[in-house]
Amino acid sequence: MIKTTVGIDGMVCSMCEAHVNDAIRKALDVKKVNSSHTKRQAVIISENEFSKQRIEEVINPIGYKVMTVSSEPYLKKGFLSFLKK
């Protein structure tokens, strides 16, 4: 699994968050997406990594601007908790 954090400019309210989430869900194969206008970002959990260009193709046309995109491996919370025992 991949966690992609997208910095987004232009979100100002919870309706903006919903608009971004809907656009991402419709255009990309994601497991989970959560946007925050206060953090100015969307966090996407997916099986595959998406290029900045692909994310811009989804976000920019709906009135927001992609500023940054970073990806990292994603492990579910508690996934490795058994190793700590």
pLDDT in tens, 37-76: 999 999 999 999 999 999 999 999 999 999 999 999 998 7
**In which element (H, E) is residue 66 found?**
strand 65-73
Q: Which residue would you say has higher pLDDT here, 18 or 76? A: 18
71 bridge partner residues: 4
Helix axes 52-59, 14-27, angle to 10 degrees: 120
Query: Do residues 47 and 71 make contact, with C-beta atoms less than 8 angstroms apart?
Result: no
CATH of domain 2-77: 3.30.70.100
- What pLDDT does 17 receive? 98
- What pLDDT does 85 receive? 47
d(CA 51, CA 41): 16
The 10s digit of each residue's pLDDT in 19-31 is 999 999 999 999 9
Q: Which residue would you say has higher pLDDT here, 78 or 33? A: 33
d(CA 41, CA 46): 16
